[in-house]
Amino acid sequence: MLRDLFQLVDTDGSGWLSHDELSLIVSLLGTPEASIDSQELLERLDRDGNGRIRVDEFLTLLEDHNRLNCSLADLKRLKKSLVQISSTAGLSGVSLVEVDCDLGAGKPGAGSGIEMFKSAVKHQQDLQKMSAGLIAEIREGKTPSAHAATTGKSTTPHARHIKTIAGVMQDAANLVCSTLQQQSSPIVLAGDHSTAASTIAGIRRAHPQSRLGVIWIDAHADIHSPFTTPSGNMHGMPLAIACGHDNLSEAINDPEPVTRQLWKDLQQLHGFESAAIDFRDLIYVGVRDTEAAEDVTLASHSIPVISTEQVRRKGAIQAANHCLSCLSHLADVDLIDVTFDVDAMDSTICKGTGTPVPGGLWAHEAILLLRPLLSDPRVCCWEICEINPYLDELNTLAELSLGIFRAGLEVLGERFSSPSSSSSHAS
């Protein structure tokens, strides 16, 4: 156990623990004695007096557990915290990943939201400067465009355009995976929400041994399958893909063989036969428009839903902390993906999306919610989707989305420019 802890804390691989590295242990122990002076601990363990701790000296920490008031359970929790931190500690910046597809939505146009969004960023000097500073050279990865306007009629009514969407999702998963493998955190700008399943798949490919949690901020549960969907629109299916969920007990459709095969392929897009995420590693925020088959799934798997009313009653910051707490204490995840569908906001301010729903978040609530979420060191990816400029007649949604994007960049800028991040990234 202690050897494992030593290797996790020895971020520069020197074979020694510095004062700063030892301080990390003290801060994470979380015991009543956690206020112990790290310099005192260093002097106690440093038997040869060279100001650094060798692994054999570190192993004497167990003998000192009474002075530290830490049990074996405390050390196990410490190890888990260090593993979670190390999962994202190598991320040295942010990259933009564009997934230009609107085929999964009922109304075309969401794919054009990406270019509109980027163009708007360039016209706001403060936001452009912030983006240029944080997103390395505005380093971008982009999937080939797949728009309803240039694609023929779908021949798979229970999963419309699934063949084309599957190709986009393969490209998107590759991009997300390679971005993370290059030690960069992806900000995914997507057209419709169908491709969020490929974001999850890409994260799992990059971190196959890590447990991934998902915070899904949306008006809809998006957990239909080709067997249960009343519309055939794939933007209502990404979580059924990620969770490997067909929901056959609630089936109303008999999908054709090609749909069944492509659906199965998508459920294994992350590279394993098991599901990309577990139901218990999923939490919803703002969901308020579901259908009967989805309600059965949410109830039978006890998936938490933080409603708009709860956000207001608790306060957005407290609601965000509750989400993170659920993923810590109930799920104990290593990494977190935060995905934000703009229809999570109220329909009075969110006209420029395909499926606006009353009773959603106000823009300032969305910002207050996202700030603590994106501050969590386990968050390795942030996704924004479903901005449709053809429906945004007053340009309201574009302006609100820019405000949310700015707030998110501020948080990520603080994360990746902090001294602790720099020292971790240098290793």
Instruction: In whole angstroms, give the CA distance from residue 233 to residue 210.
Output: 31
**Do 33 and 126 have their domain in common?**
no
**Do 111 and 169 have their domain in common?**
yes
Contacts of 7 (CB under 8 A, 6+ apart): none
Give me the pLDDT at residue 114, please: 83
Using the 3D structure, point to which of 72, 87, 102 is the last residue of a domain. 87
Contacts by 303-310 with C-beta closer than 8 Å and gap 24+?
A: 303/279, 308/359, 308/360, 308/361
**Do 254 and 330 have their domain in common?**
yes
Contacts of 78 (CB under 8 A, 6+ apart): 5, 25, 28, 29, 70
- Please give the average per-residue pLDDT across 379-386, as a whole number: 95
Give me the pLDDT at residue 165, please: 97
Structure tokens at 7: 């290797």
Task: Compute CA distances 129 → 135, 235, 382, whole Å.
Answer: 10, 33, 20
Give me the pLDDT at residue 87, please: 57
Contacts of 137 (CB under 8 A, 6+ apart): none
**Do 144 and 275 have their domain in common?**
yes
- For tokens 């990816």, the residue is 381
- CATH number, domain of 142, equals 3.40.800.10
pTM of the complete model: 0.79
> Cβ distance 341 to 217 under 8 Å?
yes
Using the 3D structure, point to which of 87, 122, 146 is the last residue of a domain. 87
Is the pLDDT at 241 greater than 90? The verdict is: yes
| Number of domains the chain is built from | 2
**Do 243 and 300 have their domain in common?**
yes
**Do 397 and 375 have their domain in common?**
yes
> Cβ distance 294 to 223 under 8 Å?
yes
How sure is the predictor about 422, in pLDDT bands with cuts at 50, 70 and 90? very low
Domain of residue 270 covers 92-426
- CATH number, domain of 48, equals 1.10.238.10
Give me the pLDDT at residue 33, please: 37
**Do 69 and 178 have their domain in common?**
no
pLDDT digits over 44-97, tens only? 777 788 878 887 777 776 555 444 555 556 666 666 666 655 556 567 688 889
pLDDT digits over 101-118, tens only? 999 998 888 878 888 777
Using the 3D structure, point to which of 87, 114, 136 is the last residue of a domain. 87
Helix pair 257-267, 162-181: axis angle to 10 deg: 10
**Do 193 and 163 have their domain in common?**
yes
**Do 240 and 312 have their domain in common?**
yes
How sure is the predictor about 246, in pLDDT bands with cuts at 50, 70 and 90? very high
Higher pLDDT, 416 or 321: 321
